[in-house]
Every structure is written in C-alpha cells, then in structure tokens.
Structure 1
C-alpha cells in the first residue's frame, strides 16, 4: 500500500490515493463551509488553550490563556510587563509584580506608587467592573468573545490544501490569498481550529487542549486585595 507523504506544502499520495481517507471530511468542503464548521466546533467546546501573540491598537500582547464557559486564567505580556489574569464568573483578578504596579506605563513611579506596589506585588487584585482595565482585559478571559473576534478571516475565502500542525493533519483556509489571515483546521476528529495567522501581521495563535477540563476557582482571601471602585493605576 502507498502511504500519504507529508511535505512542506501539505499531504500527497501516490497512485491517486484519496487524501481525505480517514479524515473528518473537512478537505472536501468549501472554504466558507469550513469556516462555519470550525466556528461551530469552537463554540461547542467547553474549554480551549490559546497561546501566541495578538496585536491590537498598536500594542502586542503575548498570551497563554486557558478558557472555559465561565471564565479563564493565564498570563499576558505587554511591552515589558507580564501579569496573570483570572476571571471566575463576573469577578476579574489581576496578579503582577511590584514593577507593574509602580510603573505601569514606563513613565517612572513615585515613592507613594512604590509603597502601594509593594503591597500589591504577588497578590490577586480584584478589578472593579467599572474600571477601564476590566473592559480592556476581561476579553482575554472570555472564550466566546475572544474566539468570535479571532476566527473570522478577512476578504475572499479560499482553500490552501493539506498541512500539518504538531503532528495533526490539517486543512488550511485563507482570506485574500493569505493577506486576510489563514486558519488551519484539524482533519482528525472534530474540526477544531489549530493555528490562526491573523490578517495584517496582527499575530499568530495556537489553539490546543480543546475540551480538556481544568480547575477554575476564586483565589484564597489571603491572596486577594479588593481595591474598591478604582485600581491604583490605569
């Protein structure tokens, strides 16, 4: 028998072997149908891990987030700052070191800033729902909002053949021949999106651990600071 051969451009076979044999059939669909199916699969999944970069409003964020229907947790790096986000239901917490709290925008902190920063360092700081930071960061912990905004390619959709991501066979679709982004969809099992390259060099994300549950709970009160109606720095 002739086996499929994985090449840099995708999967090929000899003797006219069907490249869709043993797959979920995504490779036989149109690009629009594939995008619809993968969005449905992502929406139905209870959990996902999302890692990579997102560029928004001129700022590059490096994410490593685990998301589920009622919240999410993980790390975010922006400029020189790395912090952790945790959302359980409507409660959003931010955890960072003293440098983040004393000098969040790189402008230089005051002695008062330093005193506050020392108290907040390593603590889960509850983000008030009406603080600008809540709207800015809660989206990184919202599975539905984040995926709805990411999984739509721009421009005319087209198929781009068979590929492979981390040992999993995939089928790729693109927007405007790649300038509108590309999406690799699993050919094995459920048609989950596995790799997203965003339009306009706006980041690359890997999506893994679909459906793998993880613990999500409120932080211990000893590790939590409730700063009231407004965070000490924006």
Structure 2
C-alpha cells in the first residue's frame, strides 16, 4: 500500500470519528455502532431469565464470596459484612445499635459480642439479671447449640447457599435495564429487574464469570454488594480458652 493510500485511509477514519463524536455529543448517544457487549462474557445478550439462571449457577459454583450491605429479615434491619463458603462463614452483623461477630465452622455456630450485647439480647440479661455473668461473655466466642432459637436466627447469615438462593431471585416479570458500570468496583455490568424495578434489581458482571455484583431487594428490603468470588479465606474454630458454652454459661433473667 502506498503512502498516499494510507494517508487517505487515515483521513477517512479521522473524519468518521469526528462525525461520530458530533452525533454522540448532540444526541446524547453512547457511541457510533458501539457494541456494549464487545469484549464481555456475553451474558448481556441473553434474556433476563437466562441471565438470572447463569448468575445463580455461577454463584453456586463459586467456592467463596464476600457479602456486605443491609438486609431486612423478620421485621428487623441488619448490616452485614460476611465472608462465606460451603462449610461456614465469618463476619460482622449489626442491628438496632448492637454489633456482634458470627463464626460457623461446619455445624458449630459461635457468637462473639461485648457485655452490653448480652445484657440486652432478648432480655436475657436485663435489669435484675446477673451482670457479672454477662461480663464473663464479653469478647468470648459463645457456642450456640443447634436446638436453640438463636441458632436458627443467626446461622442463616453464615450459610452461603441458603443466603444466595433466597437473595438472587427477583420478583415479578423479569426484564433488562441496560448496561451499567458498578460505582464501587468499576466493573461493567448488565442489570436485570423484576417488575420494572419494583421486584428488585440485580447487577451481573460482564467481566469473567457472570457473578452477582449488586442487589437491590424489592420493597426496600436492603441493598447488598458481592465481591471476592472464589477467594479462599481461613475458617477455623476459636481456641478453647476463648470459647464459652452457651447452654451452661449464658446469663438468664
């Protein structure tokens, strides 16, 4: 190819780019013949139902995940920052001004909090109770027996499959709400929604595996972010000296 021919090609390309830029600016478009799915994992081209199926499958197959944000359950609002995998999870939960740590290894659930938490939790250590006993639990990992109501109440926050199965289902008729960029991670995502957003929205990554990135639950029931998919983390039982048996040591009113 001659230098003259190359020059003509470059000028033509520059002219096309200039015209494209003018059209984009004047009409508010995102680009000239730009494919928003170019260079992605391709799920953006699927139907909303297929995207939901793909992302639930990817989430279920991942070895681990970090989940953070807010969720309303049982009429109470909780702030979560949990790391989860198949055999348990660990992290922090906050509710009604109180904060505590959860740790589950296999079937064994531990709850760690300060004395103030135990003095108020379900009224078990309220006025007239053994404050000294509550103080003994301060900063300790309290073993929660599987038959105790607290086990059912809190263990769900440490159960990866249970949480994701319940959270990643949108309600109502599914649709797509276009391509977006996640404000926290900068990932390109495709957003799907239930009943035009009233049934919740879910942002799904267009980069690599189609993992969930951000969920806005229906009915103002919370907003959650997902990250660290597949990243291994330590999950071990606490030392014996840091553990108190719930059934024998928890103060009662």
Match among 183, 207, 223 for residue 188 of structure 1? 207
Q: Does 1:153 align with 2:170?
A: yes
Match of 1:210 in 2: 229
The structure that is helix-richer by fraction is 2
Structure 1 residues 135 and 231, CA gap change in structure 2 (3 angstroms): farther
Query: 1:66-121, CA deviations, whole angstroms, 9 ceiling, x for partnerless residues?
Result: 00000000000010210000000000000000001011247982353311110000
- Map of 1:5 onto structure 2: none
1:13 CA drift (Å): 3.9
Q: Does 1:164 align with 2:181?
A: yes
SS at match of 1:103: helix
Contact 2:118 2:124 in 1 (8 A): no
**What count of residue pairs does the alignment treat as equivalent?**
226
Q: 1:124 to 1:54 in 2, by over 3 A?
A: same
Larger Rg: 2
Deviation string, structure 1 residues 177-212 (Cα, Å, up to 9, x no partner): 001000000000000000000000000000000000
Larger fraction in strand? 1
Whether the 8 Å contact between 1:139 and 1:146 is mirrored in structure 2 is yes
CA contact (8 A) 1:38 1:193 kept: yes
TM-score with structure 1 setting the length: 0.91
SS of 2:199 mapped into structure 1 = coil
Give the secondary structure class of the aligned counterpart of 2:247: coil
In structure 1, C-alpha distance between the alignment counterparts of 2:64 and 2:32, rounded to whole Å? 40
Query: RMSD of the TM alignment (CA)?
Result: 2.0
Could you say which residue in structure 2 is the equivalent of 1:179?
198
Structure 2 contact 67–83 (Cα < 8 Å) conserved: yes
C-alpha separation between the residues in 2 aligned to 1:115 and 1:229?
Answer: 15
Question: 1:38 touches 1:185 (CA, 8 Å); kept in 2?
Answer: yes
List gaps (5 residues or longer) in structure 2: 1-12, 18-28
TM-score where L is the length of structure 2: 0.85
